Amino acid sequence: MIPGPPNTDPPIVIFDGVCNFCSTTVRVILQNDRDGRLRFAPLQSRLGGKLLRLHGVDPVEADTFLVIEGGRALTRTDAALAIARHLRFPWNLYRTVGILPRGLRDAAYRLIAKNRYRWFGKRDACFVPTPEERSRFLDMASE
């Protein structure tokens, strides 16, 4: 079998647009994405919900970032590690978390995800990018 060309589509990050922690994380990513390649969709958007469902994640119960990169869907710390590969120093140092067993790192991720609204708060409306950031967002229309 001859391998096809590599997937060059920009990675897509689906995130909880009403979560303060998640929205702050997206702001950090936007400011530190070395090549400006990452694209975003809130899980509350039509496209975000569709992509979550397509990859077996219930948008209503979603407690994870989802990163679609190279035709694969990554969740929890695997998604965070994929994002970190695109970031500038010091944010790219998060990749070192990858040396920990997935079960351990995902347990910590689930703890934060479960408590994210209580610890960091929740917005009344979905994350809104600045006009300069708008081109990096794929679909802001709510369902």
Residues 114, 126, 134, 11, CA torsion sign: positive
Quote the pLDDT of residue 11: 94
From CA 115, how far away is CA 84, in angstroms rounded? 23
Q: Which residues pair with 73 in a beta bridge?
A: 68
From CA 132, how far away is CA 62, in angstroms rounded? 28
Quote the pLDDT of residue 7: 54
Mean confidence (pLDDT) of the chain: 87
Measure CA 10 to chain center.
13
Would the pLDDT of 141 be above 70? no
Q: Tens of pLDDT along 84-136?
A: 999 999 988 989 999 999 999 999 999 999 999 999 999 888 888 888 888 89
Question: The pTM is what?
Answer: 0.85
Quote the pLDDT of residue 122: 92
